[in-house]
Chains A and B, each alone.
Chain A
């Protein structure tokens, strides 16, 4: 490996590194504004100046490739003077409004001016004033503060894949804006707030809410989709003030989706904080004892076959486990976690997880999407696909029409016949696939809902195995599930394993007498005479038709385990306490059991968690991928019906009860639909 000398210390570095990276490797910290590891190099802030031997001028280390034998100095007087000069220029036009700036306390410019700032201003001229721009309901702009680092422009173009932010004008008069000040049409747009090194782009919903040092920070897991992005929840007292991404190279890198970030104001609204019962058609408050008595007597008097349990999209594994044990104790056979009847095969863990892993997408050289819209179903995963696309221009092929995915793809047909052609190696796609070394096939829930779902899933699996795309080193077979609770619920067996969809038929024909919804709000269901118990955190769709409501905490308010779509087990931590008299889900089940004079299965949370972990298939450890089980693969055959691959419409900003309660999300949804209407002219 080549060597470089930084401050008289000789270190080895990897080829292709920049001087800045080599300096970091040597432990010399370099101040910077425009440089960012995950974005292209711009070299326009000049803050990272260092001294290089044989160069009369200091060099911008972020843009200079490191070469063998370079001698770099980062701590000389010349470097210090140069950086101070740069800082003085940056501050020349920067307003001194730190006391009223939301970035205060976590501002790169503020921090670095502590070391390189001049103690007084020599700039006698008038400061530049820039008009603020509209960038949608999430991003608040105070453009006078902008230092023209263009991180936001590069992020939008490179990572988000929407070239909508740009720099207009030039020189001192350069301004950052979107074309005609439209809102940015991306699910990743709010990441520019984190990227902005100054307070030019700040968070609109969080404006003037709190200072960073006042907040309690809890590291936890997101449950808005099945990706399981790593997040940090910042709370002030009871309120969740904001959600920020946490670095995890395996899952979300350092980005999160707008829904993950901004659905959190839904945690403050529409909350169920007390038990309710329905009397004369109206929901009225009642005590826990009263509510439990009603639930107990109803369960007692109803035929067990006519009771149905449905688990929601954001439940932790502990909740589902305790619920299943609860159902077992009461010998209730009807339980389900799916929101729509889609085909599932849980014989092998491989059949329902994303086997290639999210990070593995970057290695792939061909991606085939079958009935999935990753942009809306798993935004962070889509960002990885785009990353692979941008880096290597890999072919991406879709069966079914998902619309704009932020990268180019070819549509290989919208019917199941086209998939058959693929399996019979009769079309162009199969050629591309067979010529690739590390392909990825992603089967989405829309495909699994088809009548030919079994044919597709098993057929693809067989095809991949036969062509050696499922081996020890690479597994090309992937299923993309949409909900945070899905993989966990499948591991725990909380569904009907025979794929006969009895639960859904009974639900549709109103054959249940008693329905118990636990955090479940997305079911397509029309009530007739059922008695409905709703247990959850938000007064959403199901709570409105419920006869008894039991309050339980939301995902930020209780500890829990979640398995993401890759099968990675992650811990979600309690960051705040639930409002009112909410009780944790497993405790509620215990209370009901007590009411029915049955023994409780789990005495405490530790017991519950230990039992839950013991039930996880192929369990390795926290934050790791599950064991591979490609040896004992079974293949079944399914029947093929020629039918169109219809893509499920996802109301992205309104996909769960928390998001539906969030004002920010409804603003985003309104902004998006306004834009859509303009395009279609309706």
Chain B
């Protein structure tokens, strides 16, 4: 992974919508007035939600002005955290976990499927404009490895048998239901196996 690329076709302006402006004010109210800079992360997230899941430079400047903080500091934060996108992503943004547990359970296969189905390189939008994918670090669902996050949903217990079908559903703009693909209830044991405390699959 290298420093995030800033998209080269930037919109000239950015402004919060009326609804988001209300939300932004609410966020600001959570922090002391002299420390309003603290609101930078939720505001960036708000901007990202408003702008098709990516943050244009104009939004960085807008938030910098909004919080009276230097642009470079907003920029630093936006590049530091991997969940802020500085280039457009697909309507379905696939984030494949490739940290150790997922990797051991076959995350490579998921990546290969993404390369095959979506685009050869990560952070590139598919030809039909529906999807883009990227490798990310641990998403905290190691029990259901390998897994991936698509927009706000977790797709877990993937395997090379079902991943292509799942990706196809996104590519056809008809997303499949998220959750475990081995019919587990969240991260509970499979097939009514008894867990360590002797309790049946609760």
Residues of A at the B interface (CB closer than 8 Å) are 163-170, 173-175, 178-180
Leading 3 A-B pairs by shortest Cβ distance:
A163-B70, A169-B3, A166-B72
Cβ contacts A to B, 24 pairs, < 8 Å? A163-B70, A163-B73, A164-B72, A165-B72, A166-B70, A166-B72, A166-B73, A166-B76, A167-B76, A168-B3, A168-B79, A169-B2, A169-B4, A169-B79, A169-B80, A170-B79, A170-B80, A173-B1, A173-B3, A174-B3, A178-B72, A179-B70, A179-B72, A179-B75
CB neighbours of A180 from chain B (8 A): 57
Residues of chain A within 8 A (CB-CB) of B75 are: 166, 168, 179
Interface presence of B71 (CB below 8 A): yes
| Interchain CA distance A169-B81 in the complex, whole Å | 8
Question: Closest residue of chain A to B76, judged by CB?
Answer: A166
- The smallest beta-carbon distance between A40 and chain B, in angstroms, is 15
Q: With A179-B75, A180-B57 known to touch, is A164 a contact of B3 (CB < 8 Å)?
A: no
Q: Chain B 45-85, CB within 8 Å of chain A: the 1/0 string?
A: 00000000000010000000000001111011001100000
Shortest distance between the CB of A156 and any CB in chain B (Å): 9
Q: Are B71 and A179 in contact (CB under 8 A)?
A: yes
CB distance from B83 to the nearest CB of A (A): 13
Instruction: Give the complex CA separation of A178 and B71 in angstroms.
Output: 10
Q: Considering only CB atoms, which chain B residue lies closest to A163 in the complex?
A: B70
How many Å from the CB of A165 to the closest CB on chain B? Answer: 7
List which B20-48 residues lie within 8 A (CB) of chain A. none
Question: What residue in chain B is nearest A156 (Cβ atoms)?
Answer: B72
CA of A165 to CA of B2 in the docked complex: distance in angstroms?
A: 19
Residues of A within 8 A of B71 (CB): 179
Shortest B44–chain A CB gap in Å is 14
- Complex Cα distance, B79 from A180, in Å, reads 13
Chain A residues closer than 8 Å to B80, beta-carbon distance: 168-170
A169-B4 Cα distance, complex, nearest whole Å: 7
Main SS at interface, chain A: mixed
Cα distance A163–B73 in the bound complex, in angstroms: 8
- Besides A166-B72, A169-B3, A169-B80, 18 other CB < 8 A contacts? A163-B72, A163-B73, A164-B70, A164-B72, A165-B72, A166-B73, A166-B75, A168-B3, A168-B75, A168-B76, A168-B79, A168-B80, A169-B4, A169-B79, A170-B79, A170-B80, A174-B3, A180-B57
The smallest C-beta distance from B196 to any residue of chain A, in angstroms, reads 34
Bound CA span A627–B71, Å: 48
Chain B 1-17, CB-CB to A under 8 Å as 1, else 0, gives: 11110000000000000
Which residues in A have their C-beta under 8 angstroms from that of B2? Answer: 169, 173
**Shortest CB distance A357–B (Å):** 32
Task: Give CA–CA (A173, B80) in the complex, Å.
Answer: 10
Once the chains are docked, how many angstroms separate the CA of A119 from the CA of B101?
38
Query: For A179, what are the chain B residues with a Cβ–Cβ distance below 8 Å?
Result: 70-72, 75
Contact-residue bracket for chain B: 10 to 19
Chain A contacts for B70, CB-based, 8 A: 163-164, 166, 179
Question: Measured between alpha carbons, how far is A180 from B75 in the docked complex, in Å?
Answer: 9
Across the two chains, which residue of chain B brings its CB closest to A165?
A: B72
- Bound CA–CA A170/B82 (angstroms): 10
Distance A175 CA – B71 CA, assembled complex (angstroms) = 16
Q: In whole angstroms, how far apart are the Cα atoms of A169 and B76 in the complex? A: 7
Give the distance in Å from the alpha carbon of A168 to the alpha carbon of B73 in the complex: 9
B74's nearest neighbour on chain A, judged by CB, is A179
> With the chains together, A492 CA to B71 CA distance in Å?
50
Complex CA–CA separation, A164 to B69 (angstroms): 11
What's the Cα separation between A180 and B78 when bound, in Å? Answer: 13
CA distance A167 to B72 in the complex (A): 8
Tell me the complex Cα distance, A179–B77, Å: 12
Residue of B nearest to A178 (CB): B72
Across-interface contacts of A175 in B (CB, < 8 A): 3
* Residues of chain A lying within 8 A (CB to CB) of residue B57: 180
Q: Which residues between 60 and 114 of chain B lie within 8 Å of chain A, taking CB atoms?
A: 70-73, 75-76, 79-80
Complex CA gap A560/B75 in Å reads 49
In the complex, A179 Cα to B3 Cα: how many Å? Answer: 14
| Minimum distance in angstroms from B146 CB to a CB of chain A | 24
Give the complex CA separation of A175 and B5 in angstroms.
12
Q: Closest Cβ of chain A: how far from B87's Cβ, in Å?
A: 14
B1 CB contacts on chain A under 8 angstroms = 173
**Distance between Cα atoms of A476 and B2 in the complex (Å):** 54
Shortest C-beta distance, A181 to chain B (Å), equals: 11
Residue in B1, B3, B4, B57 with the greatest tally of chain A CB atoms within 10 Å: B3
How long is the Cα–Cα vector from A124 to B1 in the complex, in angstroms? 19
Which residue on chain B has the smallest CB distance to residue A166? B72
In the bound complex, CA of A178 to CA of B75 (Å): 10
Q: Which residues of B contact A170 (CB under 8 A)?
A: 79-80
Report Cα–Cα, A104/B79, bound state, in Å: 32
**Residue of A at shortest CB range from B6?**
A180
Q: How far is the CB of B6 from chain A (nearest CB, A)?
A: 8
Residues on the B chain within 8 Å of A164, using CB: 70, 72
The smallest C-beta distance from A119 to any residue of chain B, in angstroms, reads 31
- Interchain CA distance A170-B83 in the complex, whole Å: 13
Instruction: Give the docked Cα–Cα distance between A168 and B4 (Å).
Output: 9
A594 shortest CB reach to chain B, Å: 62
Instruction: Tell me, rounded to whole Å, the shortest Cβ–Cβ distance linking B75 to chain A.
Output: 6
In chain A, what residue has the closest Cβ to B79? A168
Q: How many angstroms between the C-alpha atoms of A473 and B4 in the bound complex?
A: 57
Complexed CA–CA distance, A180 and B58 (Å):
12
Which residues of B have CB within 8 Å of A169? Answer: 2-4, 79-80
B73 contacts across to A, CB distance below 8 A: 163, 166
Report the nearest B residue to A162, measured CB to CB.
B70
Shortest CB–CB separation between residue B115 and chain A, in angstroms?
22
Q: In whole angstroms, what is the CA distance A60 to B103 when docked?
A: 35
Interface centre among A165, A167, A170, A179 (most CB of B within 10 A): A179
Which residue on chain A has the smallest CB distance to residue B75? A179
Q: Closest approach, in angstroms, between the C-beta of A660 and any C-beta of chain B? A: 32
Could you say which of B4, B57, B72, B79 has the most chain A C-beta atoms within 10 Å of its C-beta? Answer: B72
Given the complex of chains A and B, what is the CA–CA distance between A174 and B2 in angstroms?
8
Residue interface mask B145-183, A partner, CB < 8 A = 1: 000000000000000000000000000000000000000
A168 to B75, CA, bound (A): 7
Task: State in angstroms the CA–CA spacing of A170 and B2 once bound together.
Answer: 9
C-alpha gap A178/B73 in the complex (Å): 10
Among A168, A169, A170, residue most surrounded by chain B Cβ atoms (within 10 Å)? A168
Complex-state Cα separation, A180 to B61, whole angstroms: 11
CB distance from A186 to the nearest CB of B (A): 13
Bound form: Cα–Cα A170–B1 in Å: 10
